[in-house]
Every structure is written in structure tokens, then in C-alpha cells.
Chains A and B, each alone.
Chain A
């Protein structure tokens, strides 16, 4: 385990240190005192393990492919955005747009997530152990979002595809988001995925998918399209 102390350093210098250690063959790194700096651990492309011993700012673990990153505090906007593969875990709460546009991998928020969690997801899995905010899963394209707690308004608004599971209360569904039956396959997926991160599953889940009415314009369905176009 290699320690990197952020005190007095810019994000750029810290990231350079991280890369330097990875190049030198280190596979476990601990970043100490991150103090909510932005852009830590961006674009890491190796299967290394990185621990952020504190809270991080925007875009931590953005544009990564392969690493496992654990944030021991909370995170700002866009955690793990556009990730191709890897695991990013935040032990407390996540700011807006956690897991934005990820194409693979898993993001776990052990606390609650703010608005637009899982926005434009193109694959992968987002797990929120607490509650999640307004417009969770907005324009989601693929993948799965699991929220063990409650979700705020406009859940799954304008989603193309993908599955959203909610253990608690759904304040309100977004445009063209519809309830669906939780299948046996879904149950198995939920059980194994949550078990992997030692998350106790809620008593039951509701499932939300795309109603597919926004897939093609339909002039007879003006009420829907007035909201969407």
C-alpha cells in the first residue's frame, strides 16, 4: 500500500503521483487528506485499487477503465462519469449526477445520492443504499439502477431502456417511465449484486422501465410529447 498525502498539492500533482506509482507497479494506493479536491483519480486505466481517505470534489474517478476506487467520505458532482469499467464506492453521500453516462462497471453510494443520479447511463450498475434525488435515471439508455431507499420526483424521465429498482417510496415517475413486474431474473440479479457489496436488501423492490412511447413521435399522443419534445 502506497500513501499519497494531498496536503499542499494540486489535483494535477496528486494525479501525477498516482500515475507515477501505477507505472512503477504499485497496485494499492491510499490518497490521504483529499479535502474535496476536484478531478482526483481521473482516467485511470489499470486494475489498481485506490482509497481516498476523505471526501472528494467533482469528477472523482471520471473517465476510468478498470480500477477500484473507494471514497471514504462524500463526493461532489459526476463521480465516475463516463466510466467504461471498474468499481467506485463512496461511503457517504454523492453529489449530483453520480455515475453520469457510465458505460460499464459499478458505482456504489452507501449514503444517499443527489439529483440526476445515473443520468444518461449507457451500461453498468449504480447502487444507492440510501435515497436518491430528482430525475434519477434521466434519459437512461442501458444498465441498472438500484435504489434501496426512496426516490424523488421524475424518476426515469425519458429513459430509453435499462432497469430501475426502488426499495422504498417512489415520489413520482418521469415522462414515459412505467412500472414493470420484478421477474425471477431480476430478483437473482438484485440479490447477487447487493450481496457483493454487503448491502442488506430491502423487503421488496419495485421496478421501473421505459414505456417506449417516446421511441417514436406519435401525433396522436400529444400530451406525452408536449412534455418531451
Chain B
């Protein structure tokens, strides 16, 4: 019997690299896909941190009797009616167009059920989304697709979007198969085009203009509702300061793990900074402006569990947005209709094919037949359950750290498992009590 040859792969010319070159040799453009970063080198993440619960130096709270509040208030700076939600987890903005009708409505119902908010997206507000949500955030994006002052005035907050983590510095994309007649009409576009959205707002450029824009949005809503500014995590330390100084009530920072319905894959994998670094920089930025606690901070990008959310809160976020995790609760990547995953070149648990418009589980599609696979009420229940589970996780971690309010979680409750995360987050490395670095402008808590 002949010996089998040893198969040796090059680390430079990996199978993925070879496949990538050959795909581009066919396509003639950069590749576009959905989901999130797919790098093979892991990013520094919240998983690199661990909580240090109470033992003798601190006393934990008793789960049965002692309450741990999860109530979250956002937009206390200038708005007459800040948003009050029951949990620090919110549904992020995902457009009707990227998502199916069923997915949009399921998310609205889930948010209402869990006592939290949902957000419109690049393409305007869906009436059913307003109807089924208690708290709705209305996005004002560079494309202004579907912009409608009446919808804006029905919202509980306005989110002025500068960019997102999946593609900072560039505009939205919606490929041909998803620009159905209905979506085209809502966006004032010809049906079936490959829609490319602008990256800059049509009527303002920099932070000075944004200040005036924010004031316009306040005038349009009579200073009632909070104005959020959402950005992709890039130069977070500077950008958060600029947004706060331009008058945002709430700053949203979306890390490089942030999900998408369609983005150039190089932007997903090679632009922006990870969410862990983003929250660390954002907190310091707000502290240095004297606005930490006055301007609330929402963190997004790869928040997959109550644990990740709790760590984001401990590092300085007031709430987290969930996008991909909510879609996964709706059945994204679940091994159902396996043949249909394979037909679009995917496999369950390894699908990132939202851009094709052929989502096997009816979430990111405009195809009426595929959409039927997502039952609105059953989906809403699953997402609601997932949010409840994540909330219990946050509460459990907070109680174990002796906190009667999840917003009392603090950096001191954390230790870093890696040198890298210690340097990024300014958290002591386990077993040392030494902080190896810290973000820009970081100071030890004794000097703050």
C-alpha cells in the first residue's frame, strides 16, 4: 500500500486566499457579503475579560430577595422625554429591505415584549413596525431613503447615523435581488438596481455642520425626543468627543464586529476597531469632556450574550444594541432547509449570504415564499426569550459582583485574561493587579 502524501498548506496561500483570488478573478470587483467579520485571526474581545465576583472583600446580592434593577434611561441631556426601557439591550437599526417584512415586525414585537426599543433603518419606517413597537428609534441616514417628517415625529428618538461598524466611511448597499418593486418604491429607486448609497449626508459634512443638523432635528421634534449619533468605530476617542460636543444626547459606537446585510468583505474584515477597544476609548472620551453620565453611550458590534453586554456596561456603556444576535434568535444559521443553504454556497452555522436575498430562513430576503418560513409571532417569542435570558445573565453577573443595579457594574469588577485586553481596556491583568497600558488618555482610577 502506498503511503498517503502529507498535505501541507501554505500559510500565505491558504485555501481561503486562493478561493478569494479566484472569486475576484471571476467577479471583477471586490466581494460583497452579509453577516460580520470573518477573519481567521481572532479580534480582541469581551471574551478576553473575566468578572471577579464578591467573596470576602465584597458581599454579593441574594438572587431571591434582593432586586437588581435593569431599567435604562437614555437621552437625559436635552430631550424633554428621554427613553426609558426595562433592559439595557436594544434592537439595532436594520433596514426594511435588508430584512424581510416578517423579520422587521417580529423584531418590533419582540422589543415590545422585552420592554425595549427597536430601530428603523436605511429605507425609512415601516408602518407595522411603529404599530407593534412601544419605543421606536428613527434613523436619519446619509441616503435619506424614505425620509418622512411624519414618521420622524412619531418616533421616540432620532438616530443621526454617520456610519456603521461593518463599513465605516462608506455608504449602504442593497443588491439587485432585494430591490423589489415595493422596496424600490419606498426608496424612490428604479426596481432591481444594485443600490449604492452615499457615504456623506447630502446636506452636512463635518461636526460643525452636524451641530446645526442636530438642532434642526430637535426643532422638527420640538426638543421632545433624544437625538442619538451613531458611528462606526474608527477614531473613537476623537469622534465621540466631536459628537458629544455637537450636542448628541446619546452616542452609539458600532465596533468592527458589527453586522450588516451587505458590505464589501474587506471593510468587514480590515476596517474599524473592535468593540472592546471602542467602548474603552468612548468612555475616556466622554470622561475627558466632562460628559460621562450626561451623554449616554450605546455600544454595538458582536454583542452575542448577556455576558458580553455586562462587560460592555462595566466598561462604560449605558446599553447595547443587538443586531446579528437577534437575527440568530430568529433562526439565522439554524440547520433548517439545509439544501437551500447549500444552494447559495453556504452551510448552516457558516452562512453569511444575506446579500444574495435568498436567506434560507426568511430573514434577509424579499422573496414572499422564503419569507413565509419566518413566522412572526413565533420569531418574536424567540427573540423575546433570548433578550430575557441575556437580561438574566447580566443581572446574575451584577448580583454576583454585589450590584443592585446593572448600571453599577464598573471596570473594577473586571480582570483581563490577556495582556492585550489589559492594555486596551485599562483593566488589570489577572494574577498581577497591574494595568498594562490603557486606551488614549487613560488614567488609573485613583487619578480620575
Contact = CB atoms under 8 A, between A and B. Distances in A.
A101 interface: yes
Given A11-B219, A58-B212, A122-B144, A229 B29 contact: yes
Contacts of A15: 219
Given A103-B188, A217-B194, A82 B212 contact: no
Interface stretch (A1-9, A61-69, A126-134, A193-201): A61-69
A160 B219 contact: no
B203 A160 contact: no
Contacts of A222: 28
Interface in B14-38: 27-30
Interface stretch (B147-155, B225-233, B274-282, B402-410): B147-155
Contacts of A21: none
B288 interface: no
B195 to A, nearest CB: 8
B223 interface: yes
B444 interface: no
Nearest to B28: A219
A79 B404 CA distance: 50
B215 to A, nearest CB: 5
A228 B148 CA distance: 28
Contact of A81 (B196, B198, B202): B202
A85 to B, nearest CB: 10
SS of B interface (majority): loop
A43 B220 contact: yes
B149 A120 contact: no
B216 A58 contact: yes
Nearest to B147: A82
A122 B223 CA distance: 27
Given A43-B220, A160-B193, A219-B27, A77 B204 contact: yes
A59 B212 CA distance: 8
B202 A101 contact: yes
A116 interface: yes
A189 interface: no
Contacts of B148: 84, 103
A125 to B, nearest CB: 14
Interface in B189-220: 189-190, 192-194, 196, 198, 202-204, 209, 212-213, 215-216, 218-220
Given A39-B216, A77-B209, A101-B144, A64 B149 contact: yes
Interface in B98-154: 143-145, 147-150, 152-153
Interface in A84-129: 84, 96-97, 100-101, 103, 116, 119-120, 122-123
Nearest to B140: A82
Contacts of B153: 43
Given A160-B189, A216-B176, A77 B216 contact: no
Nearest to A83: B149
Given A43-B219, A65-B150, A120 B213 contact: no
Contact of B188 (A45, A64, A100, A123): A123
A105 to B, nearest CB: 12
Contacts of A64: 149
Given A120-B144, A219-B28, A161 B216 contact: no
Contacts of B190: 160-161, 215
Contact of B203 (A42, A77, A161): A77
A169 interface: no
A215 B194 contact: yes
A163 interface: no
SS of A interface (majority): loop
A39 B189 contact: no
B220 A81 contact: no
Interface residues of A, number: 47
Q: How large is the interface on B (under 10, 10 to 19, 20 to 34, 35 or more residues)?
A: 35 or more
Contacts of A215: 190, 192-194
Contacts of B176: 216
B29 A12 contact: no
A100 B266 CA distance: 31
A39 B212 contact: yes
A59 to B, nearest CB: 4
B194 A59 contact: no
Contacts of A81: 202-203
Nearest to A40: B219
Nearest to A122: B188
A139 interface: yes
Contact of B147 (A11, A59, A101, A216): A101
A108 B28 CA distance: 43
A136 interface: no
Nearest to A143: B188
A123 B145 CA distance: 12
Contacts of A12: 218-219, 223
A78 interface: yes
Contacts of B203: 58-59, 77-78, 81, 96-97, 100-101, 119
Given A101-B147, A222-B28, A39 B188 contact: no
Contacts of A219: 27-29
A218 to B, nearest CB: 8
A36 to B, nearest CB: 12
Interface string A188-229: 000000000000000000000000001111011010010011
Nearest to A97: B203
Nearest to A220: B28
A219 B30 CA distance: 11
Interface in A123-161: 123, 138-139, 141-142, 158, 160-161
A-B residue pairs, 10 tightest by C-beta? A219-B28, A78-B203, A43-B220, A122-B188, A100-B202, A101-B144, A97-B203, A100-B203, A63-B149, A119-B202
12 contacts: A12-B218, A57-B212, A58-B212, A63-B149, A77-B204, A84-B149, A100-B203, A103-B188, A141-B189, A160-B189, A220-B28, A229-B196
Given A43-B153, A58-B203, A229-B196, 18 more contacts: A12-B223, A38-B215, A42-B220, A43-B219, A59-B203, A82-B144, A96-B203, A97-B202, A100-B203, A101-B202, A103-B148, A103-B188, A116-B202, A120-B198, A122-B188, A138-B198, A160-B190, A216-B176
